[in-house]
């Protein structure tokens, strides 16, 4: 499908003599034409950044929709905004199917005083845009049609119900059913499921599970389940980038360029004048790596209450849908681990969450081990943090004191208090293991 979009975008570029880009209706980049010009006005900062980040901010989307592109049935010209980093105007070709907008094709307009595309060329380009609209609509419909089957696989009980649900999903997927897939859990999720996710075979919403089972979120919350279709394990990295776009990101300081404009050819994204909140770079790869230094470990604190930030967990790729329920459990565990330990996320792979692979399975209920009960009380949060950092540093006092930013004697004093509260001997391996597990499990609950 990706190759079809690229061919159609290249066809529009050839018709109008300008590099074109294609975005879906959520302003996420799908394909873009080659750019071989040395014109600095064409490759303005906003266009360059948006191609690299492949997404626009909500403010950018609102700004461009203010020109009526969501209602337009023909080409829309949008003027340049040099103060906002857009040195050249844009032409937007709405991509529609049966009257519903599916996406947008963006092109650079000609410089002032130079003739733009001929009406006949624009009409031909709009015909190509209609063909793109058919493909986008068919892709969205396919994902929606599979949501029921996908949800049934994830929520069916073990046994024949699950076997039947897997068989139904395999039949719906057709020849691709026995290919390589990865399950993704995004939680907590509010609102409706997105119409489509790039690279996804199906998406659905999954409610919280019953008491005693692993939950994707807290009571009353939903999780978004995504079934990624992969050609190979190497394709997981770009798929994670698509998953990262589902998560909210922190805004950049005012005056910095944001995620860019629509299609990499669009407006004043992320600049102070445009008011667009910027985005960080693709977070998927960083989150998927799951690596951290001892200092990063030392900077973490045990949560004071239930975490509310949205995270995503990605299971190891599986071949064959029979393994999908187990893969979903991995994805849920990774999403929970990303909340417990921010250094793992916001997109965490199950293979990279270390001890949380076991702890997420064990810690379905709040930790209430008698030894750790007093230490985990709010009044002793700093002592709990000290003990966790010390254990993260393999019991090396020098490393732990440096990570905590305290004198070694202060560390020894705090560890003695920890032993008094817990009744554990931190010179004993099993006692250290018990305390370490209790502290990490407390993050998950």
Give the span between the Cα atoms of 405 and 397, in whole angstroms: 12
Closest CA to 122 of 20, 222, 218, 210: 20
pLDDT of 234 reads 74
- Domain membership of residue 347 (yes or no) is yes
With beta carbons less than 8 A apart as the criterion, state whether 88 and 265 touch: no
Query: 124 and 32: one domain?
Result: yes
Specify the CATH number for the domain of residue 402: 1.10.10.2840
H helix or E strand, kind and range, residue 161: helix 160-173
Please compute Rg for the chain using Cα positions.
Answer: 25
Give the span between the Cα atoms of 92 and 22, in whole angstroms: 10
pLDDT of 322 reads 87
Query: 342 and 321: one domain?
Result: yes
Closest CA to 129 of 161, 150, 102: 102
- Domain membership of residue 33 (yes or no) is yes
Query: 197 and 344: one domain?
Result: yes
Query: 23 and 132: one domain?
Result: yes
DSSP-derived secondary structure letter, 17 = T
Query: 75 and 151: one domain?
Result: no
- Domain membership of residue 263 (yes or no) is no
Query: 352 and 435: one domain?
Result: no
Closest CA to 443 of 326, 371, 355, 324: 355
Classify strands 347-349 and 222-230 as parallel, antiparallel or unpaired: unpaired
Query: 179 and 310: one domain?
Result: yes
Q: Which residues are CB-contacts of 293 (< 8 A; sequence separation ≥ 6)?
A: none
Assess whether the previous peptide bond of 346 is cis (omega < 30° from 0): yes
Give the span between the Cα atoms of 278 and 281, in whole angstroms: 10
H helix or E strand, kind and range, residue 30: strand 29-32
Bridge-partner residues for 108, per DSSP?
90
Q: Per residue of the chain (445 residues), give pLDDT as tens.
A: 455 788 899 999 999 988 899 988 878 788 877 655 555 545 554 555 555 555 666 777 777 888 899 999 999 998 887 765 667 788 999 999 988 888 999 998 876 667 778 899 999 999 999 999 988 887 766 655 688 888 888 888 778 888 888 888 888 887 777 788 999 999 888 878 876 677 788 889 998 553 334 444 444 578 999 998 887 777 777 777 778 878 875 333 333 233 333 444 333 333 323 333 332 333 333 333 333 223 233 333 343 444 457 899 999 999 888 889 999 999 998 998 888 888 888 899 999 988 888 887 765 555 677 888 888 888 999 999 999 899 989 999 999 999 999 999 999 999 999 999 999 999 988 888 888 888 887 877 6
pLDDT of 425 reads 92
With beta carbons less than 8 A apart as the criterion, state whether 274 and 60 touch: yes
Assess whether the previous peptide bond of 362 is cis (omega < 30° from 0): no
With beta carbons less than 8 A apart as the criterion, state whether 76 and 266 touch: no
Give the span between the Cα atoms of 196 and 94, in whole angstroms: 18
Query: 97 and 131: one domain?
Result: yes
Give the span between the Cα atoms of 187 and 234, in whole angstroms: 25
Q: Is the dihedral of CA 367, 373, 377, 383 positive or negative?
A: negative
Query: 125 and 81: one domain?
Result: yes
Closest CA to 50 of 249, 263, 276, 270: 263
Query: 299 and 421: one domain?
Result: no
pLDDT of 147 reads 84
Listing DSSP states for 223-287 in one string gives EEEEEEEESSGGGHHHHHHHHHTTS--PPPPTTS--S-SGGGS---TT-TTTTPPP--S-HHHHH
With beta carbons less than 8 A apart as the criterion, state whether 257 and 85 touch: yes
Single pTM value for the model: 0.53
Of 318, 345, 362, the domain-final residue:
362
Of 139, 163, 181, the domain-final residue:
139
- Domain membership of residue 440 (yes or no) is yes
Listing DSSP states for 379-432 in one string gives GGHHHHHHHHHHHHTTT-HHHHHHHHTS-HHHHHHHHHHHHHHH---TTSHHHH
Distances in Å between the alpha carbon of 39 and those of 34, 35, 44, 45, 154?
A: 14, 10, 9, 12, 52
Domain with 170 in it: 140-255+277-362
Query: 132 and 242: one domain?
Result: no
Give the span between the Cα atoms of 133 and 412, in whole angstroms: 66
Query: 206 and 229: one domain?
Result: yes
Specify the CATH number for the domain of residue 49: 3.30.450.40
Residue 30, φ and ψ in degrees, nearest 5: -110, -45
Of 139, 154, 177, the domain-final residue:
139
């Amino acid at each position: 499908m990706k190759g079809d979009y690229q061919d159609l975008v290249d066809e529009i570029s050839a018709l109008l003599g300008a590099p074109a880009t294609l975005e879906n209706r959520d302003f996420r980049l799908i394909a873009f034409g080659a750019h071989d010009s040395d014109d600095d006005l064409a490759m303005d900062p906003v266009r360059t950044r948006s191609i690299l980040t492949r997404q626009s901010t909500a403010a950018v989307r609102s700004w461009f929709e203010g020109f009526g592109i969501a209602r337009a049935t023909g080409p829309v010209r949008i003027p340049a905004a040099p103060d906002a980093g857009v040195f050249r105007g844009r032409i937007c070709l709405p991509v529609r199917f049966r009257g519903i907008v599916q996406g947008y094709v963006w092109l650079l307009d000609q410089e002032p005083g130079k003739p733009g595309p001929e009406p006949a060329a624009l009409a031909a380009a709009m015909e190509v845009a209609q063909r793109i609209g058919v493909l986008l609509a068919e892709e969205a419909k396919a994902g929606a049609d599979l949501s029921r089957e996908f949800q049934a696989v994830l929520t069916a009980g073990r046994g024949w119900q699950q076997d039947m649900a897997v068989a139904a999903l395999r039949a719906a997927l057709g020849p691709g059913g026995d290919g390589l897939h990865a399950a993704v859990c995004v939680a907590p999720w509010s609102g409706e499921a997105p119409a489509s996710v790039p690279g996804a075979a199906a998406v659905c919403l999954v409610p919280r599970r019953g008491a005693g089972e692993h939950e994707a979120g807290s009571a009353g919350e939903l999780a978004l389940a995504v079934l990624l279709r992969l050609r190979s394990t190497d394709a997981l990295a770009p798929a994670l980038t698509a998953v990262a776009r589902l998560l909210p990101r922190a805004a950049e300081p005012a005056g910095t360029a944001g995620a860019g404009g629509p299609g990499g050819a669009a407006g004043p994204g992320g600049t102070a004048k445009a008011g667009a909140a910027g985005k960080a770079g693709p977070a998927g790869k960083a989150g998927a790596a799951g690596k951290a230094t001892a200092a990063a470990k030392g900077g973490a604190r045990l949560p004071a209450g239930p975490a509310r930030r949205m995270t995503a967990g990605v299971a190891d790729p599986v071949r064959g849908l029979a393994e999908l329920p187990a893969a979903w459990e991995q994805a849920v565990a990774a999403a929970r681990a990303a909340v417990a330990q921010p250094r793992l996320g916001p997109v965490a792979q199950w293979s990279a969450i270390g001890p949380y692979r076991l702890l997420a399975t064990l810690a379905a209920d709040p930790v209430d081990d008698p030894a750790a009960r007093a230490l985990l009380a709010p009044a002793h949060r700093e002592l709990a943090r000290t003990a966790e950092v010390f254990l993260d540093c393999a019991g090396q006092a020098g490393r732990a004191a440096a990570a905590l930013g305290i004198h070694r004697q202060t560390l020894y004093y705090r560890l003695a208090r920890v032993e008094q509260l817990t009744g554990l001997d931190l010179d004993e391996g099993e006692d250290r293991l018990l305390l370490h597990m209790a502290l990490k499990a407390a993050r998950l609950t």
